[in-house]
Amino acid sequence: MNGRFITEELVRDLIATGDICGNRPGKGGWVFEKQYDGVQFKLICDIGADLEPRIVTGVSEIVDRDEALGSDRWNESTVHQVELRTALSRDAHEVAPERMLELESLTPIDVKGHRVITDDAWDYVECVDCGMRTRSKADLSSTACN
């Protein structure tokens, strides 16, 4: 959950009040979804033998940028980090250069073992540790960070 901005408090609230969807009978997977101030959260759970949800992963995505930026709940750098993570995750092959130019996240996010940032004048992300520049999550995934 680290770096995905889902706090324990949010997890509790998602399970208590989120919409349950993606429940596939026999497969044990439950998905809780809810929007908080322009950010959509999705919590993917397995159900244990005791019927308590066990969190598998959490995903966040900006659905209303203005609302998210105007909210007291989220600070600007969090919104930017979520946007960058979403862009890299959605386009597994490579993020379009013009899309990268719209993004700015100067607080590093962890992606496949690298800590990447992007400036609004860059059409790539750069790892703050190894200096690697790319637009592709697959590249980050296949290259070790030195």
Binding site for Zn ion (CB under 5 A): 114, 127, 129-130, 145
Are 119 and 143 contacting, i.e. CB atoms less than 8 angstroms apart?
no
Nearer to Zn ion, 31 or 126 (CB): 126
Nearer to Zn ion, 45 or 111 (CB): 111
Smallest distance from Zn ion to CB 19, Å? 37
Neighbour-count burial of 18, counting CB atoms closer than 10 A to its CB (0-12 exposed, 13-18 middle, 19+ buried) = buried
Nearer to Zn ion, 55 or 145 (CB): 145
Smallest distance from Zn ion to CB 13, Å? 34
Neighbour-count burial of 98, counting CB atoms closer than 10 A to its CB (0-12 exposed, 13-18 middle, 19+ buried) = exposed
Are 53 and 44 contacting, i.e. CB atoms less than 8 angstroms apart?
no
Nearer to Zn ion, 17 or 142 (CB): 142
Count the Cβ atoms, other than its own, within 10 Å of residue 120: 12
Smallest distance from Zn ion to CB 139, Å? 11
Are 19 and 13 contacting, i.e. CB atoms less than 8 angstroms apart?
no
Nearer to Zn ion, 102 or 129 (CB): 129
Smallest distance from Zn ion to CB 46, Å? 32
Smallest distance from Zn ion to CB 142, Å? 12
**Rounded to an integer, what distance in angstroms lies between the CA atom of residue 41 and that of residue 5?**
9
Q: Angle at the Cα of 37 (from 34 to 60), degrees rounded to 5?
A: 55
